[in-house]
Structure 1
Amino acid sequence: MNRIVVCGLSNRALGMFIQSIVHQFGSTNQVVGVLDSDPRRIEICKDSFSELKSVPSYNPNQFQQMIDETNPDTVIVTSRDDTHIDYILQGLENNLTVITEKPMVTKAEDARRVMEAEKESKGKVIVAFNYRYNPFHRKIKELILEGKIGRVTSVDLNWYIDTYHGASYFKRWNRNRNFSGGLSIHKSTHHFDLVNWWLDQNPEEVFAYGALNYFGKDGEFNPSPTDNRYCSTCEEKLSCEYYMRWSNRRNNIAVKDDHIKADSIEKSAQNYTHYRPDSCIFDHEIEIEDTYVATVKYDKGAFLSYSVNFSLPYEGYRLAINGTKGRIETTEFHEPSRIPFSVPEQTIEFYPLFGGAKEIIHVLQTGGGHGGGDPVLLEDLFLGVDQNRPYPILAGAEAGAYSIAVGEGVWRSVKENKPMKINDLLKSEVDLSLPKAVF
């Protein structure tokens, strides 16, 4: 029996990890302890899962006590991003398997600390990069591996986040760089890891531009320059375009977002003791960027052209990967219930470099969160890696570190207006060419 403790009872912890352990993988996995800084979150967890009523609970400074009393094999880290480093290092000190939600940490320096600690530990780190497991993303990996487009020369990835999802980051703790690393880390590490994994190349250098275009005190849709407003009590919300875009007062739309697990962010305020997830998106304290464009150079010759925008009319991405034998393209629209127009089914299109017709590749889609990727990831985590899969997919500390370093390189490049060397950010004394296996 795999004995598991969970650090941080976030919505992801409850809705993805604990629910799956209790209801799907309980024959070989058991939650034996939970930890959170907020007693209200512990109460919600135990109310949601009667199986955990008698499971002991702890606060953050009782981590070692929890380990000593529950004797776990695995630590799941789903707390606020900046606290990941503490639980990961303590888990490795106790020679445990540590499964952490992305981003692994919020700073490249902390990523280096994790790799060094893992090297000295009998434990290991697994980063839950579920985007890798999306059926389309796995198919793209397979096309590259089989040489369909030859040697990859460049990648164009443009990511779009709609006004509902994008604004949500600025209502919550994510808007504070000290807590999240900024959105080039909290969100974009997903994207950078995906490209790193597809290419099987290490990023060497990044240059970026970025800006705060939509949110913060200078947001042009700010009803007034007033601080400390909250959506649930704001007297100006009917004048806020971001609020009213998703309000049933104007639109008869059932808003649902699997990152938030609530009909609206402000309604979830009661789920916390001293935290409001409905802060105003125009507060003066907001200073992280909401728009980026970046170029990344890789060690085997490939380039990445990347952009992300956190306030757009619809959500999804456009991807093109160019190689010496051809090009593949795909476009995905996320959350179609929030898109006010019909969207085509996602396919992958292959264009040969010399002659031949365009090939349209249809991918078998599966149910579950993040485009069908979550259930496959959870199977690898709690049943063991699929031995029939011909390529590695589960991510470890090295993958987590490179994604963090690119994300930090992006926002630092924006601030310093210069290219950032990835290895300079990591300041690594660890041999990155010899990553510790996680499967």
Structure 2
Amino acid sequence: MMKRRYAICGVSNRSVKMYIGPMLQTFSKHAEIVGLLDVDARRFDVCKSKYPELSDVLEYGADEFDKMVEQTKPDVIIVTGRDDTHVTYIIRALEHDLDVLSEKPMATTGADCRRIIEAEKKSKGKVTVTFNYRYAPIHSRIKEMVLEGKVGRVTSVDLNWYIDTYHGASYFKRWNRLRKHSGGLSIHKSSHHFDLVNWWTGQKPLEVFAYGALNYYGQEGEMNPKKEDGRYCGTCVDKQDCRYFMRWSSRSKQVHVKDDHVDVGSADVQLPYSGYRADACIFDSEINIEDTYSATVKYDGGALLSYSVNFSLPYEGYRLAINGTKGRIETMEYHSASRVPFPVPTQTIDYFPLFGSKETIHVVHREGGHGGGDPALLEDIFLGPDPTRSYDILSGSMDGAYSVGTGEAVWISVKENRPVRIEDVLTST
């Protein structure tokens, strides 16, 4: 496989840890970084201080994409900036006939997904959306069991996702809390989950009905110690009365939530990135997204998904059941075991044939982010798809579109109290 030239749009923590580090350390024979683009020059300094071998790589501002392409002549653009910036760089890359690797979500609206798909049709370039959850060993084995016919035709899926008070609150400290930046958590976070269900079942989502609410965060949150805007954890005088803050910190030690887009460092230092801080108060009145959803999704193969997600719970993980005409698959995972205040079992898969004895499958677990999914995804990206795998796993633009379209349909249904067709979301302007 020939060595390819990569330019990166969005020099975020995610890009540094997920792509830049492995490209320099593991895949250097297959990948060369030729350009860095970001809205904030400080990101270049942080990145190059960590990886001095990038010292001669050219840097570009947010509006210098065409200049970057002309000067560095990349083969592939990696898009790892804030969610609402993805569509701009994906489309510009396709207009230059370049391949694109995009973090999820591919875009923040169905309309922008449609723009990307139309641009890809006219381009020699191809879009890959990096849905790393597919690559977690448990998730891949579930896909294989469905393909093996263990459950027969999939008729229904129950998926309940739990986000703990550390991780859940982090979304409301950061840029994600504004819908214009993230599309809301039904897109930013749930697109991961919807993609898994789409992939597991091999069916296309058709229609959504959902409910949602802001139950924990925002100014009316029950744990808000004082209704006052403009606070930051690093300087807040009310933090000792904040249950969310004190769950993970103490009077002598403050725990700062990580941010995928800025190296936070000391939370009481205002960062130059557009005045952005990653420790904004979770009880601000400007928060305009939901923290709780419950949705039903109908699929073109007859399956029905019952989905829920809650962003303020005592532990993190999910419960999954896939039902079919021949049996049922069950599994439960506890994420981030170090934050769970009780012993947790190793994740297994339980298979219940419709007629017969239960089987428990122990899957070999891998090291690495997202349940061991990140390293396996990177191998497929930089070395080519694993030739021993008998099914497709890398995601394209249509996969990205249906995950975003489902998430936006959830929000529209919440807002308008009606069923929403996915195709209507993806064809809206």
TM bin, normalised by shorter chain, reads: over 0.9
Within a 5 Å distance, the mapping from 1:392-407 to structure 2 comes to 392-407=392-407
Give 1:437's aligned residue.
none
The 3-state SS of whatever aligns with 1:230 is: coil
2:161, 2:310 within 8 Å by CA — same for their partners in 1? yes
Letter in 1 for 2:305: L
**Residue 146 of structure 2: aligned partner:** 144
CA distance in 1, matches of 2:75, 2:271: 33
- 1:262 CA displacement: 7.1
SS of the residue corresponding to residue 64 of structure 1 reads helix
Q: Residue by residue, what CA displacement relative to the aligned partner does 1:328-366 show, whole Å, maximum 9, x if unpaired? A: 100000000000100011000011112x22100000111
CA-CA distance at 1:266 after TM superposition: 2.9
> Is the aligned partner of 1:305 residue 2:306?
yes
Give the TM-score taking structure 2 as reference length: 0.96
> Superposition RMSD on alpha carbons, in Å?
1.9
Counterpart Cα distance in 2 of 1:328 and 1:294? 21
Cα distance change on mapping 1:263 and 1:111 into 2, 3 Å:
closer
**Paired position in structure 1 for 2:238:** 236
Residue 22 of structure 2 corresponds to which residue in structure 1? Answer: 20
Q: Normalising by structure 1, report the TM-score.
A: 0.94
Deviates more, 1:252-261 or 1:341-350: 252-261
Q: Deviations for 1:91-140, whole angstroms, at most 9, x for unmatched residues?
A: 00001110000000000000000000000000000000000000000000
Amino acid at match of 1:346: Q
Partner residue, 1:115: 117
Residues 137 and 363 in structure 2, CA contact (< 8 A), matched pair in contact too: yes
CA pair 29-409 structure 1, distance change in 2 beyond 3 A: same
Note if contact 1:39-1:273 (Cα within 8 Å) is conserved in structure 2: no
Distance 1:404 1:419, change over 3 A: same
1:327 alignment partner, SS class: strand
Matched AA of 1:228? G
SS at match of 1:46: helix
Match 1:83 to one of 79, 82, 85: 85
Q: Which runs of 5+ in 2 are unaligned?
A: none
Contact between 2:257 and 2:278, CA under 8 Å: does it hold in 1?
no
SS in 2 for 1:157: strand
Taking the aligned partners of 1:97 and 1:24, their CA distance within structure 2 comes to 21
Partner of 2:275: 274
Question: Is residue 73–residue 96 contact of structure 1 (8 Å, CA) maintained in 2?
Answer: yes
Cα distance in 2 between the residues matched to 1:259 and 1:198: 27
C-alpha offsets along residues 15-58 of structure 1, whole Å, 9 cap, x if unaligned? 11111111110112010000000111111111111111110000
- Aligned pairs for 1:31-430 within 5 A: 31-249=33-251, 266=267, 270=271, 272=273, 274-354=275-355, 356-427=356-427
Q: Secondary structure at the match of 1:395?
A: coil
Matching residue's letter, 1:108:
G
Secondary structure at 1:185 match in 2: helix
Question: In the TM superposition, what whole-angstrom CA distance separates every residue of 1:60-102 from its partner, at most 9, and x where no partner exists?
Answer: 1100000000000000000000010000000000011100000
Deviation, structure 1 residue 427: 1.1
CA distance in 1, matches of 2:98, 2:247: 46
Aligned-pair CA distance for 1:194: 0.4
Mark the runs of 5 or more structure 1 residues left unpaired by the alignment. 430-439
Match of 1:6 in 2: 8
Structure 1 moving runs of 4+ over 4 Å: 252-265, 267-273
Shift of 1:248: 3.8
Amino acid at match of 1:59: G
Give, in angstroms, the shift of residue 367 of structure 1.
0.5
Give a deviation string over 1:266-318, Cα, whole Å, max 9, x none: 37855846211110000001121000000000001001000000000000000
| Identity within the alignment, % | 61
CA contact (8 A) 1:172 1:277 kept: yes
Distance 2:65 2:267 in 1: 31
